[in-house]
Structure 1
């Protein structure tokens, strides 16, 4: 039987990395024009067939991928935009997308969708957090898996993530440069690694500016509930001059809670949040927030899954997407008291 030529064979012939061969054959940036042309010529000479060409020539069906998430995740507009970008990117590559939500019972009983259990898909994209045990069950099937907006030390899989620490750092830095040193934190750090990382970014910014965090103003198990947030504000003995919130929902509740308490935003107190979702835009005043490129999430997730198909033995990757601070009316210089 004739040996099938692989990307590694081409890499060995040219004494370059397999990744460079993959980039050249796909027309991706990262290799020079000369290298790209050389790789294509040698690939042709060696009789290499690109996977898509082999599938077409053999009449194979298109790649099938699964997109799964908790039912709560699918209900959130933030993740809905990521889902749409994943769908669009998958379709642009001729893939068939299977979508399945995971309810509480399925999560607790570790019941996988049948198309994953029976290995009817070529790859899985997991949107946000379900549970570590559930995602481990998916990975254990051996199907290439990419996590989106979630990761964990005990989950051996590729992931596409927001650079939460740096995003939070820049947000808190913005408050510090407005001369705020009394800055509260609100968010449930146990809910997801993203919130824990945003908390770490908050602490790092304070440290770099020589500001000691005040535990009285650190609400690290905060529920995203209007009544709960209003209670935090009322019970404080001394009010901070600024708040950093791990998401826009909390930012919205903090802003309205402060105003109901009799404080003006931003004249008396500034509010900054994260995600640049709808609530930050409809709030009065509009809330300064950290923007995430949601469309980029979907594109990179599908790209990473395709890369994994061609590089099954490479180390797992965590792709960090940068953020951007959107300055709005909810933040201003520290008031003089």
Structure 2
């Protein structure tokens, strides 16, 4: 039979006095803000049940959910904007309000949290894309249930809603192989995001499964999303692969255009496949084959998981992988050559 968790149990766990625990959980003064948050978080984790009539400030029903992201993420309206709109609708369906805060780089560096987080004015928090690991952990230490969207890290203990990047990249490379390509390049900045590193892993997995040798000369792991940088990288290559897999649509757009500036025809001489299926993949000439991410489903699952976490604080954290779909367009075609000089 499971024993009832008491204030003394919490005090013993934290090696502090029972009086400090009582003051913190009743919302009274006498303990620092940092200690109060630590006690509240420990109480949640241990399954402490508050006596009737006693209200923990962290458990007050505020009717609000928070959403934070970097300035850069909020600026990516074609990708994160659609996720945000779905989140707003899903939160409203549950009769709650969404509070949004853009996090400037200065705040990230200073580990400065939005006021609604500091003052415990929300019941749960969604973090869109990546901030620094230290900043995200500072958010988590408030004890407010947290769900990450399109980001994770081994040093972050929280639920995460993620794209199945490895399998999506695998499908992209598989598509190119099905068209007869055996010399396939990779382009992305794997230090920028865990998602891009995982797409490199999916690329490698596909090559290995088809017993194709990995050519390091065809892998660009520090690709910049600038035309001049793409042209420089292409010009340094002694030989061009017959196809490129790019980690996002921006790079796909730039490689599509850059290769044509070098006089190569897409897809007759070189194919290009990208990831995200955003606006740039449809604007490119020729239009770019891309891996689609269901952005609306991202928002739905994030809100669903956050509300589940609010009610199940002591359960193990989960990473939920969302499937992808290959959208074939004009930029990929049957391989008609072996790799050639630029």
State the TM-score, normalized to the length of structure 1. Answer: 0.81
Counterpart of 1:273 in 2: which secondary structure? Answer: strand
Counterpart of 1:112 in 2: which secondary structure? Answer: coil
- 1:224-283, CA deviations, whole angstroms, 9 ceiling, x for partnerless residues? 111101111122111110000000000000000000000000000000000000000010
CA distance, structure 1, for counterparts of residue 127 and residue 337 of structure 2: 48
Q: List structure 1 segments (4+ residues) > 2 angstroms apart after TM superposition.
A: 60-63
> 2:76 corresponds to which residue?
76
> 1:203 corresponds to which residue?
204
Q: Give the drift of 1:61.
A: 5.7
- Tell me how large the CA RMSD over aligned residues is: 1.0
Counting only pairs closer than 5 Å after superposition, residues 229-244 of structure 1 correspond to structure 2 as 229-244=230-245
Counterpart of 2:208 in 1: which secondary structure? Answer: helix
CA distance, structure 2, for counterparts of residue 217 and residue 227 of structure 1: 19
Counterpart of 2:238 in 1: which secondary structure? Answer: coil
CA distance, structure 1, for counterparts of residue 155 and residue 83 of structure 2: 24
Counterpart of 1:271 in 2: which secondary structure? Answer: strand
> 1:103 corresponds to which residue?
104
Within the alignment, does 1:297 sit opposite 2:294 as a pair? no
Counting only pairs closer than 5 Å after superposition, residues 1-337 of structure 1 correspond to structure 2 as 63-77=63-77, 78-336=79-337
Counterpart contact for 2:62–2:123, Cα < 8 Å: no
Q: Give the drift of 1:218.
A: 0.5
Q: Give the drift of 1:117.
A: 1.2
CA distance, structure 2, for counterparts of residue 267 and residue 234 of structure 1: 20
- 1:272-326, CA deviations, whole angstroms, 9 ceiling, x for partnerless residues? 0000000000101100000000000111000001111111111001111000000
- 1:100-143, CA deviations, whole angstroms, 9 ceiling, x for partnerless residues? 00111001011000100111111000000011000000001110
> 1:8 corresponds to which residue?
none
Q: Which runs of 5+ in 2 are unaligned?
A: 1-59
Q: Give the drift of 1:63.
A: 2.5
Counterpart contact for 1:62–1:96, Cα < 8 Å: no
CA distance, structure 2, for counterparts of residue 181 and residue 273 of structure 1: 17
Q: Give the drift of 1:62.
A: 5.6
CA distance, structure 2, for counterparts of residue 336 and residue 127 of structure 1: 42
CA distance, structure 1, for counterparts of residue 226 and residue 130 of structure 2: 20
CA distance, structure 2, for counterparts of residue 63 and residue 173 of structure 1: 47
- 1:137-170, CA deviations, whole angstroms, 9 ceiling, x for partnerless residues? 0001110000000001111100100000000000
Q: Which runs of 5+ in 1 are unaligned?
A: 1-59
CA distance, structure 1, for counterparts of residue 131 and residue 239 of structure 2: 38
> 1:39 corresponds to which residue?
none
Counterpart contact for 2:61–2:123, Cα < 8 Å: no
Counterpart of 2:291 in 1: which secondary structure? Answer: strand
What is the number of residues matched between the two proteins? 278
Q: Give the drift of 1:213.
A: 1.4
Counterpart contact for 1:68–1:127, Cα < 8 Å: yes
Counterpart of 1:68 in 2: which secondary structure? Answer: strand
